């Protein structure tokens, strides 16, 4: 293996990358193009060749305050000067305790107990295990399965995959290896569409027939994200809460994408009147600095698991990593300084203005915006090999998937930058 040396030409690095590295959802033999990043500051990502890209993605929805934020950097450097990591078995530390305190204060009142893990997918695994263990200690060990709407996305690990959309998820590849869960149709789209009683009736019938084996219902509140960027009426959440209560089924909200302001409220749950039993958060939790997620639950579940001496059976090596907790504490402090509704409302307006011209294009099916999410849905899926370099040539970082070109920019982005992103999307969509 040739040693890396700093005099290597740019193209050599790109070649080595192709030989050595997997990237998300790519082929090793025909990888999509990848661009070498040199640095990032605010809403601008600079490539090694000097090109500067306006960031419309927040690095998969996580870098909400922008890159290289001075306050974030300072807080992480301070923690580094104390200690980078200690095991969470037998030890505890202020960064974790303070973060738990903040999360409990921010989330709906019944959510009081916090389990830290390394990534969103793992926080979902933890939530599912909590639900199963809860029913086990309540004397209902048959409740080991989950109900969920289609078009959901909950992560790439096995149990999380089992509750992802069965078609656009990875089910057909892993049919024999995945637990068969119960699927209902996705909530009908449209934030302001009136609630469909027929839809709720379908869920009622499923619960009525199978509640003996269903531990929990898991859903992304208000926005189904990677499964299709679908927005639905928050009122459904109130109805789901009532149905779950009636049939002794726990309710899990996956706020990994929607949490920390993205929908114009601190959590999407706040668009409803209820609280889930278990909530998963991740992605923006650390302001996109480090990998960290949390599963937050109420006393019913947390204390219920420990009835008859039970302990919760999960304990990652890097649980509550102090650097990640310090990053999260800094990020939440910055977030608390925002007027979230005002700021995200303004961002929504800017995106609406910038993206609505796309509505007139033949290739475009629909333009929709909600909070800090702007979506241009196409009639046909994009070719990532072709489209990604075009965006880079136009000086923006936008990464479409399937039929969706979308923006989820850092909250600090300026209107002029949103305009540039919108123009680039218009130009590329007009060439499709």
Ligand X SMILES: *Cc1c(COP(=O)(O)O)cnc(C)c1O
Question: Which residues does the annotation mark as catalytic?
Answer: 25, 153, 254, 283
Closest distance to ligand X from the beta carbon of 155 (Å):
4
- Match 């309710």 to its residue by tokens: 251
Site for ligand X contains 256 (CB under 6 A): yes
**Between 88 and 153, CB nearer to ligand X:** 153
Residue 120 · residue 280 · CB < 8 Å: yes
* Residue with smaller CB distance to ligand X, 13 or 25: 25
The piece of 109-117, 120-128, 170-178, 192-200 that touches ligand X (CB under 6 A) is: 120-128
Q: Applying CB under 6 A, which of residues 115, 116, 135, 153 lies at the interface with ligand X?
A: 153
Query: What angle do the packed helices 322-336 and 70-82 form, to 10 degrees?
Result: 150
Closest CA to 276 of 301, 257, 258: 301
Task: Choose among 65, 35, 66, 68: nearest CA to 52.
Answer: 35
Instruction: Work out how close the CB of 201 gets to ligand X at its nearest, in angstroms, rounded to a whole number.
Output: 26
Residue nearest to ligand X (CB): 120
Among the listed ranges 49-57, 104-112, 148-156, 349-357, the one in contact with ligand X (CB under 6 A) is: 148-156
CA 140/CA 211 separation, integer angstroms? 11
Tokens of 128: 């599912």
Interface map 52-91 toward ligand X (x if CB under 6 A):
----------------------------------------
Q: Minimum CB separation from ligand X for residue 372, in Å?
A: 14
**254 in contact with ligand X (CB under 6 A):** yes
Question: Could you tell me which residues come within 8 angstroms of residue 373 by beta carbon, excluding any fewer than 6 positions away?
Answer: 223, 229, 231, 262, 263, 406, 407, 408
H/E stretch holding 206? helix 197-210
Applying CB under 6 A, among 57, 103, 126, 226 the residue interacting with ligand X is: 226
> CB-based burial of residue 152 (10 Å sphere; 0-12 exposed, 13-18 middle, 19+ buried)?
buried
CB-nearer residue toward ligand X: 151 or 329: 151
Question: Closest separation between CB of residue 194 and ligand X, Å?
Answer: 26
**Residue from the set 55, 220, 270, 348 that interacts with ligand X by CB under 6 A:** 220
CA–CA distance from 79 to each of 76, 97, 341 (Å)?
5, 14, 31
**Window 278-317: residues binding ligand X (CB under 6 A):** 282-283
225 near ligand X (CB under 6 A): yes
Give which of 88, 32, 146, 108 is closest to 292, Cα–Cα: 88
| Alpha carbon distance 42, 67 (integer Å) | 5
Q: Is 120 in the site for ligand X (CB under 6 A)?
A: yes
Q: Which is nearer to ligand X, 226 or 376 (CB)?
A: 226
> Of 119 and 417, which has the nearer Cβ to ligand X?
119
Tell the smallest beta-carbon distance from residue 255 to ligand X (Å): 8
Distance set, CA 320 to CA 60, 65, 114 (Å) = 22, 22, 10
Minimum CB separation of residue 246 from ligand X in Å reads: 26
* Minimum gap (Å) between residue 166 Cβ and ligand X: 16
Looking at the DSSP assignment, which residues form a beta bridge with residue 224?
230
Cα(68)–Cα(241) distance, integer angstroms? 40
State the number of binding residues for ligand X (CB under 6 A): 15
DSSP state of 188: P
How many Å apart are CA 143 and CA 165, to the nearest integer? 21
Residue 294 or 398: the one with the smaller Cβ distance to ligand X is: 294
Q: Which is nearer to ligand X, 211 or 283 (CB)?
A: 283
Residue 41 contacts residue 383 (beta carbons within 8 Å): no
Output the CA angle 262-267-112, nearest 5 degrees: 145
* Binding pattern for the stretch 360-399 against ligand X, x by CB under 6 A and - elsewhere: ----------------------------------------
Q: Please report how close the Cβ of residue 61 comes to ligand X at its closest, in angstroms.
A: 7
Paired with 280 in beta bridges are 254, 295
Contact with ligand X (CB under 6 A) among 69, 129, 154, 171: 154
Provide the b/e sequence for 235-274 (b: ≥16 CB within 10 Å). bbbebbbebbeebebbbbbbbbbbbbbbbbbbbbbbbbeb
Among 79, 117, 119, 331, binds ligand X (CB under 6 A): 119
Our CB check for ligand X shows the closer of 75 and 154 to be: 154
Q: Which residues contact ligand X by CB under 6 A?
A: 119-121, 124, 153-155, 220, 225-226, 254, 256-257, 282-283
């Amino acid at each position: 293996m040739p040693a890396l040396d700093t005099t290597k030409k740019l193209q050599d690095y790109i070649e080595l990358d192709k030989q050595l590295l997997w990237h998300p959802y790519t082929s090793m033999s025909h990888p999509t193009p990848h661009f070498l990043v040199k640095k990032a500051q605010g809403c601008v990502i600079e490539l090694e060749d000097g090109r500067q890209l306006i960031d419309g993605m927040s690095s998969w929805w996580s870098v909400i305050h922008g890159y290289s934020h001075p306050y974030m950097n300072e807080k992480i450097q301070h923690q580094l000067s104390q200690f980078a990591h200690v095991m969470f078995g037998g030890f505890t530390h202020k960064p974790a305790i303070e973060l738990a305190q903040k999360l409990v204060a921010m989330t709906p009142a019944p959510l009081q107990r916090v389990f830290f893990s390394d990534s969103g997918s793992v926080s979902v695994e933890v939530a599912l295990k909590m639900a199963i263990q809860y029913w086990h200690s309540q004397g209902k060990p048959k409740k080991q399965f989950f109900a969920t709407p289609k078009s959901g996305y909950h992560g790439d690990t096995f149990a999380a995959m089992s509750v992802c959309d069965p078609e656009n998820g990875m089910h057909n590849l892993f049919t024999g290896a995945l637990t068969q869960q119960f699927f209902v149709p996705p909530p009908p789209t449209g934030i302001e569409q009136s609630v469909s009683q027929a839809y709720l009736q379908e869920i009622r019938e499923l619960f009525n027939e199978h509640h003996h084996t269903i531990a929990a219902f898991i859903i992304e509140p208000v926005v189904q994200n990677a499964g299709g960027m679908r927005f639905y009426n928050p009122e459904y959440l109130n109805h789901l809460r009532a149905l779950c209560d009636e049939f002794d089924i726990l309710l899990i909200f996956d706020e990994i994408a929607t949490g920390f302001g993205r929908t114009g409220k601190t959590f999407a749950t706040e668009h409803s009147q209820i609280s889930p039993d278990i909530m998963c958060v991740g992605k923006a939790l650390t302001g996109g600095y480090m990998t960290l997620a949390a599963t937050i639950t109420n006393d019913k579940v947390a204390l219920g698991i420990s009835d008859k001496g039970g302990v919760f059976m999960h304990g990652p090596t890097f649980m509550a990593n102090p650097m990640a907790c310090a990053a999260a504490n800094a990020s939440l402090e910055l977030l608390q300084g925002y007027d979230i509704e005002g700021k995200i409302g303004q961002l929504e307006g800017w995106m609406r203005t910038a993206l609505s011209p796309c509505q007139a294009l033949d290739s475009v099916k629909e333009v929709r915006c909600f909070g800090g999410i702007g979506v241009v849905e196409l009639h046909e899926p994009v070719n990532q090999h072709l489209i990604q370099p075009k965006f880079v040539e136009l000086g923006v970082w936008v990464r479409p998937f399937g039929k969706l070109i979308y923006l989820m920019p850092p909250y600090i982005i300026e209107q002029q930058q949103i305009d540039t992103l919108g123009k680039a999307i218009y130009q590329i969509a007009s060439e499709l």
